[in-house]
Amino acid sequence: MATKVFMEALSPTMEEGRLVKWNKKEGDVVKAGDILAEVETDKAVMELVARGDGILRKQLITEGTTAPVTSLVGVIATADEDIAALISGASAPIAAHAAAPMATPVAAPAAPAGRVIASPLARRLAGDEGVNLGGVQGSGPGGRIIKRDIEAALAGGGATVASAASARVFAAAAPGAAFRDESLTQIRKTIARRLAESIGPIPTFYLTAEFDLSRAAEMRHAAAALGDAFKFSFNDLILKATATALTQHPEVNAHWLGDRIRYFNTVHLGMAVATDDGLIVPVIFDAQSKRMSEISAESKSLAKRARERKLKPEEFTGSTFSVSNLGMMQIDQFTAIINPPEVGILAIGAIEDKVVVGADGGFEVRKKLRVTMSCDHRVIDGAVGATFLQTLRRLIENPLLLVF
């Protein structure tokens, strides 16, 4: 009996998927559990597996095509089985969801042969490493070169490596049309929808505080001297301190559910990660019970797999509070948008050396960090948010409290 291959809901919030690559060709023998294709969901690239044995008789959508969940995308059957009734009329509605090609206005000159389409992050990495983008095969939407393509080229030596200066000139000077249209990726569609759900309906206010990281810097230096096993970053410290502070303020570690507020006894900490395709928020579960070394290792692993689009659905859903850090990009201060149904998010700026008046009246240099908390006023009042930041300040400015 024939087995229908549907576009499955591969993540909890997935409404449609883009078929990135068929791993099996028409005519290939497949067994239940074989990977038929790779599908880009709203969060990651997932595997679409066969649900039956037989031959992949028909592919109903092509690579790069987007189809809604439950759409028929293929048929597995025996070699002599009649599948005409199964595929009749299936292609037409699905084709309407195909990714639109990049459009160029008629009046604009055609893009010259060899024009490179690459993400800003990929261009920067190529420039830093001296990779000629013209020799890199893009795997992103529309053949766009993204970060993983540059990394693959560096690992495999498949790209022409020129001087960093010439690579930067090549990327910046490529002429093109007046504009180009690029179809939205699944993750970008989700970001747009989620932001619309957040910034409009949620009455948000912001609290900004400046923390002193001088003691944290001393502790970090002393830990590093003990060996690699004890090294931690300032971001690791902030994540650990945030998780600890949230256990003391459950009114902040909550979800707004419309007709009720859900307060959590455990901290599932979301950490915003920038990828080539947009922002994704993997989750450190039960962060309140993990040592800083565990948080450090887990956050690095999650960030790496997020950028490679290899996260599992359960790794980017279920956060109770989130942290977004742009300090490494030299952003002094910013406000982050709440990720509903969460009721708060922390925005972490850059660490700066500032001259301040010391206890003895003289001047001294201290490491300072600006933190801004976005609060959903339906759940968090000003005093509640301020009290949470006071606890966070005490933990960050006295980091030994995190090890007792």
User: Domain map of the chain by residue range?
Assistant: 3-95, 101-182, 187-403
Q: Cβ contacts of residue 370 below 8 Å, gap of 6+?
A: 208, 209, 210, 211, 332, 333, 349, 350
- 187-403 adopts what CATH topology? Chloramphenicol Acetyltransferase (3.30.559)
| Distance separating alpha carbons of residues 18 and 189, to the nearest angstrom | 12
| Distance separating alpha carbons of residues 162 and 130, to the nearest angstrom | 5
110 CB neighbour count, 10 Å cutoff? 9
Q: Own/partner pairs for 347-356, CB < 8 Å, 24+ apart?
A: 347/371, 347/372, 347/373, 347/374, 348/235, 348/238, 348/323, 348/324, 350/326, 351/213, 351/234, 351/327
| Distance separating alpha carbons of residues 165 and 94, to the nearest angstrom | 46
Q: Convert the pLDDT of each residue in 264-286 to its tens digit.
A: 999 999 999 988 777 889 999 99
Higher pLDDT: 308 or 22? It is 22
Residue 99 clears pLDDT 60, i.e. is over it: no
| Distance separating alpha carbons of residues 285 and 270, to the nearest angstrom | 9
**167 pLDDT tier (thresholds 50, 70, 90):** very low
Amino acid at 129: E
Cross-strand pairs, 19 = 39
Residue 172 clears pLDDT 80, i.e. is over it: no
Percent of the chain with pLDDT over 90: 51
Annotated catalytic residues are 377
Q: What pLDDT shows up at residue 108?
A: 32
Q: What pLDDT shows up at residue 100?
A: 36
Q: Cβ contacts of residue 217 below 8 Å, gap of 6+?
A: 367
Q: Own/partner pairs for 285-291, CB < 8 Å, 24+ apart?
A: 285/318, 287/239, 287/240, 287/243, 288/243, 288/244, 288/246, 288/247, 290/240, 290/243
| Distance separating alpha carbons of residues 206 and 197, to the nearest angstrom | 18
Q: What pLDDT shows up at residue 176?
A: 64
Q: What pLDDT shows up at residue 152?
A: 77
Q: Convert the pLDDT of each residue in 195-237 to its tens digit.
A: 676 667 889 999 999 999 999 999 999 999 988 888 899 999 9
Q: What pLDDT shows up at residue 128?
A: 61
CATH dotted code for 3-95: 2.40.50.100
Amino acid at 95: A
CATH assignment of 101-182, among 2.40.10.10, 4.10.320.10, 1.10.3470.10, 1.20.1740.10 = 4.10.320.10
Expressed in angstroms, the distance from the first to the final Cα of the chain is 63
**Torsion region of 335: left, alpha or beta (phi above 0 gives left; psi -120 to 50 gives alpha):** beta
Cross-strand pairs, 375 = 205, 344
Q: Convert the pLDDT of each residue in 80-96 to its tens digit.
A: 898 888 887 564 433 33
